[in-house]
Amino acid sequence: MLKEKNFFVAAGIIFTAIFAIHGARSLLQWQAWVQGWEVPLWLSWAAGALAAFMAVESFRHLRKVKK
């Protein structure tokens, strides 16, 4: 069973990685295609902002978890 502390650590790391990938795509203006559809850069900005928020919240909740 996954302990609450481990869950928040894993979630924080995953969301940080997602933020880094979307941030790199946005800043370096990498093109992304999904089944012939070009994914707009503004979508990566939005997804990156959401992932950053989720990472921060995961680590904030981690601090509140009893050890």
Contact 64, 38 (CB under 8 A): no
| pLDDT value at residue 22 | 97
Contact 26, 55 (CB under 8 A): no
pLDDT by residue for the chain (67 residues), tens digit each? 678 999 999 999 999 999 999 999 999 999 999 999 999 999 999 999 999 999 999 999 999 887 6
Q: What is the 8-class DSSP label of residue 37?
A: E
User: Can you give the residue ranges of every domain in the chain?
Assistant: 4-64
Q: Model's pTM, two decimal places?
A: 0.86
